[in-house]
Chain A
Amino acid sequence: MAVQIAEVPDTGAEPDRQAFKPDLERIEIELLLEGIFRHYGFDFRAYAYASIRRRLWKRIEEEKLPSMSALQERVLHEPAMMEKLLLDLSINVTAMFRDPSFYITFRQHVVPLLRTYPFIRIWHAGCSTGEEVYSMAMLLREEGLYDRSRIYATDINEVVLQRAKAGIFPLERMQEYTDNYMRAGGKRSFSEYYTAKYGGALFDQSLTKNVVFSQHNLVTDRSFSEFNVILCRNVLIYFDKTLQSKVHSLFYDSLAMFGVLVLGSKETLRFMSHEECYQQMAPPEKIFRKVR
């Protein structure tokens, strides 16, 4: 399908100097992602198209390259360019007690269920730099459940996992986190959990006593255990619907019966093949219980 510039002269638009050929661009992007997968093993082929396209163009513009194909040439021949692109393509936006209302609802509706279990297994999928893992650890400790819990915190990216393990977060965000913590129903003083050290806020290392940080790729790796709770917030939005559906099968298979699945506040199970297997516990929070 050609660009129909000729049909719309009335806007007074300057026609594109280099005609925009979306179908050709799609071919170039698919070839690039296929090349990355086959050469480096990173699989971005089923990521949401508009977002990955936007981030590829940002890299092209930063490197002052003429086209998507030129980026392919560089990426396939220069591992350093792949490293850069890998950082561009992994979104690591997170915060402690992000969406405080979720934590309040979790305390009210999920904690009572967890109290009935002798041992609690939690999978935090796509944990990034770990802020939300530490948040959950604090919540479990305050509810008296931490000692019988184990949190498996996974991410595709080794670099962010190392930072999660270190537990040092930017001091300048502590005001925001303190505010979130209070609104999330925190029961202590947030400042008890960290000390200013190494140019940042070093968090209480006993919070990770029962946390296992490990690399796991949601696109290619399989289930590795059975869990009572799976948290995966604002990760699946970067996948297309087919891949979302595949990952939901993985989560379903990894959840114990009556286990709890937590998604980001604007994510949904609608049109997923397992939609009927879950009940939403406390709308509008995206906390779902596996019931069949």
Chain B
Amino acid sequence: MPYSIVAIGTSWGGLSALTNLLGGLPEEFPIPIVVVQHRSKDSDRLLAQLLGDATPLKVCEVEDKDALCAGTVHVAPANYHILVESGHLSLTTEEPVRFSRPSIDVMFTSAADTYRSETIGIILTGANEDGASGLAHIVKRGGRALIQDPKTAEIPIMPEAAVQAVPTAEVLGLDDLAPRLLELSRGAAKVDRRTAV
């Protein structure tokens, strides 16, 4: 299998987009998934619970040094950055980046530097431009970029910024993301490069 990690970033509208995407993946999906969803710094574990109800995958809020596991969605806790290390995740309380903690760029960059071409980055709906430079970094390290078609996004700002930063990314409708991930996870996917909208 050529991929070791799926890194997903989203903000406004993320819950319903994530519900759709993760809900379309089977329990035995073989690649660990890490999610950064912007939210208020006081929010509790509710996000992980809601996502857990929407997908057969195991969903857990990350604790420091958690091991990356297949069949698992690792959700960044509120008010911590998440860094991808080889085989596990670390948390930090370093300064917010572009007003965000957790920051999608920080997570994506560390994923790309650790897993390089084995990284898949996905940007979903959102109301700011976090994640665009992180996604570009994933591609720079040889990984693969998927972006939710801004036309299907609740708020298109985040996916539009990502498309601009990574014009070669695959841009897919929300309903097409899970099937595409499944193809990629089988490693037998025929490359189908679509142009940005």
Contact = CB atoms under 8 A, between A and B. Distances in A.
Given A4-B117, A20-B113, A51 B140 contact: no
A70 interface: no
A266 B94 contact: no
A8 B3 CA distance: 12
Given A48-B90, A50-B110, A4 B85 contact: no
Contact of A54 (B63, B64, B110, B143): B110
Nearest to B192: A10
Interface of A is mostly: loop
Contact of B83 (A51, A241, A270): A51
A22 B113 contact: yes
A49 B65 contact: no
Contacts of A210: none
A269 B193 CA distance: 45
Contact of B93 (A13, A22, A50, A93): A93
Interface stretch (A105-113, A147-155, A230-238, A250-258): A230-238
Contact of A93 (B62, B63, B94): B94
B65 A12 contact: no
A172 interface: no
A244 B63 CA distance: 14
B45 interface: yes
Interface residues of B, number: 36
B191 interface: yes
Interface residues of A, number: 35
A266 B141 contact: no
B183 interface: no
A236 B65 CA distance: 10
B163 to A, nearest CB: 13
B193 A12 contact: yes
Contact of B116 (A20, A237, A265): A20
Q: Which 10 A-B pairs have the closest CB atoms?
A: A12-B168, A50-B83, A10-B191, A93-B93, A8-B142, A13-B139, A237-B64, A48-B90, A50-B85, A8-B117
Interface of B: 45, 61-65, 77, 80, 83-85, 90-95, 106, 109-110, 113-114, 116-117, 139-145, 167-169, 191, 193
Interface of A: 3-5, 7-8, 10-14, 16, 20, 22, 48-51, 53-55, 91, 93, 234, 236-238, 241, 244, 264-268, 270, 284
